[in-house]
A and B are shown apart, each in its own frame.
Chain A
Amino acid sequence: MAAPWIEKLEGIDRRAVFLVMGLAITLPLLYPVPLPINPTQPVKDFHRFIENLPLGSKVLVSDDWDPGSKAELQTVSLIVHRHLRDRGVRVIDTCLWQTGPAAVADVLDRIYGKAGKVYGEDYLFLGFKEGRELVMPSLGNSIPATYPADARGTPIGQFPIMQGVRRLSDLAGLISISAGYPGTKEWVQQVQKRYSIPMVSACSGVSAPEYFAYYESKQLQGLVGGMKAFAEYEKLLGGKTGFATLAMTSQAAGHYMLVLLILLGNVLYLLKREMRTWALALALASILLYAYTLYAVSAASGGAP
């Protein structure tokens, strides 16, 4: 028979867990602590891919996301387009998600329109096309046949940016900003190998583990997956940091709290099974781990708590 306090803790209202998690995530947002951010190799490779694009070269950016994934994908889309704009790369943009075009058009307007870039010359939005992954090889064969007109209904042959561009292989690269299906996986399967086009991906955290296989096999030349990677990318770009960097403290606090709750659950489980030594060992290991993490974070962020 387990001690009453163990029974009580085990039966705690799930809403208390929601509240604790909510506070753990929200409070650091209001009082952020600068955390060390060290760019990882896939993010560096993504950054290098864009840095190596020649001035005035043209790329296809497929913004395959919608407002449901705005938190992650709008954040990275803004960063990627800002990088492309600052490098002087010309962008042809598509969206294969039905509910995405309005949000993507907003990103393009904020990054290119408000910076005085010329629509149709520096950037072009082809809009939504039904057909999911079938649109991709179709673009590989002929862009004007797949998209006779842009998102505003103007024939794309009228735009200077389309001069000399018939198919995907006429472009310097493909950047997939992907929230799921259809997205990076389908672009890799349908287009990357078949048309030998250099490709990188910026994706949601959920998709990133799956896409790492493509990065390892060099089918993707760079990969930015999830909010942590977006913060690393912001750091590589330098200058004013954005939402991704601000979000890191909350992300870290949320993860620490989640791991703490998992450890607590396991300690309670061991106590309930009368395995006191193991429970004590796990509790001590957890305390040491958390103390070390706090110390390491404090040291790396210059003494801040």
Chain B
Amino acid sequence: MNGVLALMMKLILQIFFTLAVFSFLYRDNPIYRLAEHVFVGVAAGYGIVVQFHTVFMPNLVRPLRDEGVRALLLHRQFHLGALLLVIPGILGFMIFLKFVSNYAWLARWPMAVVIGYYSGAAIIGSAQGDLIPQIQANVLPIVRAGAWGRFIGSPGIFTFLDVLYNPILIIGTFCCLIYFFFSKEHTGVTGGAAAVGIWFLMISFGASYGSTVMTRVSLFLERAYFLLKETTMLPGSVQVANWKVTAVVLALLVGFLVAHRIKTGPEKA
């Protein structure tokens, strides 16, 4: 019985919070704000627990306590690596000094360590994984190997586009770079190339926008599928069609919002 109740409660909460968030599409309302606050609270709480159990305890407290301090005091074993964890521990603690106005400046030290470490890693990564391989990938023959042969063998739109593939890539890269070259005024040939670069950039932004739309539609679609098409299996092989629960929750939600509107009056422009 408890299992059924727990699963039904889970289903109702899932549906309620999904509809609560969707309700913002109509207008801001107390149900939406409740969902927003619950989400922020749960996400923060979950994050703290995960960090405590996966970072603070296994990376600092346990090794320092067991391999460092306890081994030294009980077994006279000196593990320098474990004892040195005191340093990141102190640096971590120093971040919290930001809340003490007199010592807030001390929080800059750990931040300097973090920024320095991340910057170094990011620069190496960008150079090794992005800059050099991308330059190498753009050193290309003007026309793809065999493209002319394929076009002459079977003329058509796709074989013709295959011939144009490398020229478009080379011209696009060159013109986009010219657009971001600010040491010379964008007039004459430079201006023309920069204008072509703008077109390439706009097409690229259009492709990104199209992909973003696909992602947003997917997000809505998954929720719509959950609300309307999925079934939830309860213990004892009992199946509940989600759309029935959705209809009930939606009716209650709309009822509450209408009642709230009547009580508080129409919204101010």
Question: Contact residues of A with B, CB < 8 Å?
Answer: 15, 18, 22, 25-26, 29-30, 70-72, 75, 98-99, 101, 127-130, 133-134, 137, 148-149, 186, 188-194, 204-206, 208-210, 213, 216-219, 225-228, 243, 246-247, 250-251, 254-255, 258
Q: Contacts A30-B229, A191-B129 given; 10 further ones with Cβ under 8 A? A: A99-B47, A189-B129, A190-B125, A193-B129, A193-B133, A213-B137, A218-B137, A226-B211, A227-B218, A250-B217
- Whether B211 and A29, one on each chain, are in contact in the complex, defined by CB atoms closer than 8 angstroms, is no
Interface SS, B side: helix
Which residue of the partner chain B has the closest CB to A229?
A: B214
Bound together, the chains give a CA A258 to CA B225 distance in angstroms of 20
Residues of chain A lying within 8 A (CB to CB) of residue B207: 209
Tell which of A26, A70, A189, A226 touches B125, judged by Cβ atoms closer than 8 Å. Answer: A189
- Whether B214 and A228, one on each chain, are in contact in the complex, defined by CB atoms closer than 8 angstroms, is yes
Most buried by A among B129, B134, B169: B129
How far is the CB of A137 from the nearest CB of chain B, in Å? Answer: 7
Given contacts A130-B55, A186-B125, contact A251 B137 (CB under 8 A): no
Residues of chain B lying within 8 A (CB to CB) of residue A254: 213, 217, 221
How far is the CB of A301 from the nearest CB of chain B, in Å? Answer: 19
Within 8 A of A (CB), among B177-231: 204, 207-208, 210-215, 217-225, 228-229
Which residue of the partner chain A has the closest CB to B217?
A: A254
Bound together, the chains give a CA A278 to CA B121 distance in angstroms of 54
Bound together, the chains give a CA A75 to CA B222 distance in angstroms of 10
Bound together, the chains give a CA A194 to CA B214 distance in angstroms of 33
How far is the CB of B267 from the nearest CB of chain A, in Å? Answer: 13
- Whether B221 and A29, one on each chain, are in contact in the complex, defined by CB atoms closer than 8 angstroms, is yes
- Whether A206 and B128, one on each chain, are in contact in the complex, defined by CB atoms closer than 8 angstroms, is no
- Whether A194 and B129, one on each chain, are in contact in the complex, defined by CB atoms closer than 8 angstroms, is yes
- Whether A29 and B125, one on each chain, are in contact in the complex, defined by CB atoms closer than 8 angstroms, is no
Which residue of the partner chain B has the closest CB to A250?
A: B221
Residues of chain B lying within 8 A (CB to CB) of residue A219: 129, 133
Residues of chain A lying within 8 A (CB to CB) of residue B224: 25-26, 29, 250
Residues of chain A lying within 8 A (CB to CB) of residue B25: 15, 18
Chain B contact patch, size range: 35 or more
How many residue pairs link A and B with beta carbons under 8 A? The number is 131
Residues of chain A lying within 8 A (CB to CB) of residue B58: 148-149
How far is the CB of B136 from the nearest CB of chain A, in Å? Answer: 7
Tell which of B46, B55, B210, B214 touches A227, judged by Cβ atoms closer than 8 Å. Answer: B214
Residues of chain B lying within 8 A (CB to CB) of residue A226: 211, 214-215, 218
Residues of chain B lying within 8 A (CB to CB) of residue A206: 208, 211-212, 215
Residues of chain A lying within 8 A (CB to CB) of residue B122: 133, 189
- Indicate if B118 sits at the interface (CB-CB under 8 A): yes
Bound together, the chains give a CA A254 to CA B218 distance in angstroms of 10
Interface SS, A side: helix
Given contacts A128-B50, A194-B129, contact A217 B214 (CB under 8 A): no
Most buried by A among B26, B169, B217: B217
- Whether A130 and B54, one on each chain, are in contact in the complex, defined by CB atoms closer than 8 angstroms, is yes
- Whether B213 and A255, one on each chain, are in contact in the complex, defined by CB atoms closer than 8 angstroms, is yes
Which residue of the partner chain B has the closest CB to A191?
A: B129
Bound together, the chains give a CA A18 to CA B54 distance in angstroms of 42
- Indicate if B117 sits at the interface (CB-CB under 8 A): yes
Bound together, the chains give a CA A206 to CA B205 distance in angstroms of 11
Residues of chain A lying within 8 A (CB to CB) of residue B125: 133, 186, 189-190
Given contacts A128-B54, A133-B125, A250-B221, contact A205 B137 (CB under 8 A): no
How far is the CB of A48 from the nearest CB of chain B, in Å? Answer: 20
Bound together, the chains give a CA A189 to CA B101 distance in angstroms of 39
> What would be 12 A-B contacts, judged by CB atoms less than 8 Å apart?
A26-B224, A130-B51, A130-B55, A133-B121, A188-B129, A205-B212, A206-B208, A226-B211, A243-B225, A254-B221, A255-B210, A258-B213
